[in-house]
Structure 1
Amino acid sequence: MLARFLVYIAYFLKNSIRYQHCKRFFYDLLENPKSKLKSRFDMFMIVLVIASVSSLVYEVEHGLGQWSIYLEHFVVSVFIAEYLLRMWIYSDSHRLIIDYYEHCEYLSIRFRFMTALKKVFAKKLAYMVTPFAIIDLLAILPSYRPLRILRV
């Protein structure tokens, strides 16, 4: 029953125009080098990194102010959202599930829920070990106070 629901959701996402537009928007924002959105977002991220590092340097001499805490929470939230969005647009999980389901149907073998999830997880893990994903992760880890120096 859970496997059928997973397949249903995968086909729903495949046919959803709204989902495709949403994914395309975030692809243009984060990955498409020809998009004006990407260049604006990149500038925004550069400003965020500079502000965060400046805050870190200021904190060494003057102590941590309330504005610095809010800035840090905002920066980390943006970095986490960016990381998760990049992981989402890296691969189409619904296509992996549909391909596996159709493969099972063609060969008349049983569709296994856990096998489908393993395929999706393996694809997401492939993104997580790319150099850019590791750099993004290193930007997120400094939210843990002892590791803040990693952001520099």
Structure 2
Amino acid sequence: MIKIPLNSLCQLKAVLVFIAIFHFIFGIGLMVSIDFQKTAIALYGGTLDWTPTPIYFIRIIGSFAFVLGYFAWMASRDPLRYKIIIFGFIEFFILRNLNRHFFADEVYTVLNISQMMNLITSLFFGFQALLLGYLWWRVSIDMSQNRYDDQK
């Protein structure tokens, strides 16, 4: 049987892999498939007028998501080396939530998203920001106690 250590560094890597896979899947899907775009917007609880303009902009969002997936994957390989990427994701998730609420009227009007879905989405990304921050804090404590000398 393979023994997998469940220390903070391994947990941080696992969260980063989840973020990477999520962004890879959504990034590719949003870039190449209008049907995927429609499904994603529907899962998000929104509706759009499907003209070439939003389709084009959603493809741009897809390319952005794909690159975020790549960054998360790189950070998952060596979080100690790529800590700036982890901090970037924490900031991104926080800013995303702030924008979601500062401009809530636009979100509700343009995408027809309910307040409940806005809250659920905020909780999802807020939880990821908190989890990344907490795990990085735990890793930094472990590093100060030289627990990862064999993993550098």
Larger radius of gyration: 1
TM-score, normalized by the shorter chain, greater than 0.5: no
* Superposition TM-score, scaled by structure 1 size: 0.34
More RCO (CA 8 Å, sep 6+): 2
* Superposition TM-score, scaled by structure 2 size: 0.34
